[in-house]
Amino acid sequence: MKTIKNVIPLAVAAAFFAALNVQAYFDPSVGRFASRDPIEEQGGLNLYDFVGNNPVSYVDPFGQERIELWVAAFISPSEIRFPYYLNPNAFWHGDDRGFNSGTRFMSSRVWHWIVVETDPTKNPVVANISGTGMTSVTTYTAFGIQTTATGQAPAPPVAVIKRNGCILDVSVSADTGNPLIIGAPDIDYSYDFSFDVKKGQMTVTGSHKIFPWYEVNTTKGSVETFSPASGATPASLFWSAKPITPKTLTIQKYPCCN
C-alpha cells in the first residue's frame, strides 16, 4: 500500500505585531524576540522561540499556547508481500518510513492533524483535517506481465472538538478499509485528548489494532509509537483494537480558570 503524499496548503496568517508586542518584544537587529516566552518552558526549551519558528504558518499574538496533534497509521516497509485475490505473491507498496518525530504530514495509510487553542476564552479550533494515502498493489502473471492497481479510501471524519469551561476534549477515530479488496478488515484507531487548563494537564487515552504501525504525537511530546509483532500481516486486522497506555503531559495553565 503506497501513499502519494498529500500536499495540504496551510493558511498563511498575518502577524499581529501590535498585539504580540504586548507580551514580547522583537529586536530586528538580532532577528529574534528580546523578551522570554510568557509561558516559559511550557512552550519549549527555547524561551525566545515564536510559534515553533514557523511564523509563516502560525501566529500567537497573545503569547499563549496552541498545540498540534498528529495521529497516523502507516506501513513502515517500502513493500510487503500479501495475497491479492488469486495472486498469492502480490507486492503491496508501503510508506517507506519510520516513526514521525514531529507533528507534520508524513506518508501514511490514514491520518489526522489538529491544532487547538488552549486559551479557554478563544475558539478552540485552529486546524482540523484528516486524510488517507493512495493504496497500490503490483502483481505478475504467469508470463511475467506486471499489473498495478491503485485506489484511495475515503478520508475519516475530522476530529470532534468540544470545550466545556476549562476542559477541552478532542476525539479522533478512523475505520478505514482497503479500497482494493471488498470486505477487507479495517485499519482502526480511536484516541481522546483531554485538556484541563485549570490543572495544566493533557491526558491521552485510546486504542488501535495490532497492525500496521501507529503513532500519536503532540507538540508537548510523543504519546504512542507502535510496531506490529514479528509475523503480523494485514490479516491481523481481523483482531480487535487494543488500548494504549494512557499518558499525561503538562500544558499551559490559565488564571481565568483558577
Q: Residue ranges per domain, the chain?
A: 65-257
pLDDT mean for each 10 residues of the chain (258 residues): 36 33 52 55 51 52 77 97 91 95 90 95 94 95 88 97 95 97 95 96 98 97 96 93 97 78
Q: What digits encode the pLDDT tens for the residues 13-48?
A: 333 333 334 445 555 555 555 665 544 444 444 555
**Measured between alpha carbons, how far is 155 from 242 in angstroms, rounded to an integer?**
22
Residue appearing with cell numbers 479557554: 120
The Cα–Cα gap between 100 and 225 comes to 9
Task: List b or e across 64-93, with b for residues whose CB sees 16 or more CB atoms inside 10 angstroms.
Answer: bbbbbbbbbbbbeeebbebbbeeeeebbbb
pTM of the model: 0.76
Cell of 134: 493512495
pLDDT tens-digit series, residues 178-202: 999 999 999 999 999 999 999 999 9
Separation CA 48–CA 69 (nearest Å)? 22
Would you give the DSSP letter of residue 231? Answer: T
Q: Do the Cβ atoms of 218 and 249 come closer than 8 Å?
A: yes
Of residues 110, 102, 113, the one with CA closest to residue 75: 110
pLDDT at 235: 93
The pLDDT value given to residue 28? 55
Placement of cell 481481523 in the chain: 238
Structure-block grid coordinates of residue 66: 496552541
Bridge partners (DSSP) of residue 73 are 110, 214
- The residues facing 206 across adjacent strands are 191
Rounded Cα distance between 219 and 129, Å, is 17
pLDDT at 6: 36
Cell of 223: 504519546
